[in-house]
Amino acid sequence: MRAIDRLNAARLDTGRPAVGVDLALHLGEVLYGNVGAVDRLDFTVIGPAVNEAARIETLCEPLGRRVLVSAALAAEVDDASRLVPLGCHVLRGVREPGEVYGLDLG
């Protein structure tokens, strides 16, 4: 995120618009590979974990955070001192509400 901040500063200095990036990190099983037909082939990642990460990302703006982390990933982090609990949230298409953490970028 610091690199993106530096990139945006350089872009703004030259009159170009800044780019916005939000990031949601989650842990789970996924399927990945090429999907489609010969004339339209895309490499993609699918599965419930992908969907949950996408739903967590939608919370970035309302929570005022650029990086969010799921409870599943937070539980696996050795040093969670930079993770700030942001409450339990209902995510569309996800059965159970989940705890979400923000990454302290300071």
Give 15-27 as a 3 state SS string. CCCCCCCCEEECC
pLDDT tens sequence across 70-89? 999 999 999 889 999 999 99
Three-state secondary-structure class, residue 37: strand
pLDDT tens sequence across 18-32? 999 999 999 999 999
Instruction: Kindly state whether residue 76 falls inside one of the protein's structural domains.
Output: yes
Is a pLDDT exceeding 90 seen at residue 10? yes
Query: How many degrees, rounded to 5, is the angle at CA 49 between CA 46 and CA 30?
Result: 45
Q: By residue range, what is the domain housing residue 95?
A: 22-103
Hey, how many other C-beta atoms are within 10 angstroms of the C-beta on 101?
23
The CATH number that applies at residue 96 is: 3.30.70.1230
Predicted TM-score (pTM) of the model is: 0.85
pLDDT tens sequence across 55-68? 999 999 999 999 99
- According to DSSP, the residues that pair with 35 across neighbouring strands are 42
Long-range contacts of the stretch 42-50 (C-beta < 8 A, 24+): 48/94
Which pLDDT score, from 0 to 100, does residue 56 have?
97
Count of domains for the chain: 1
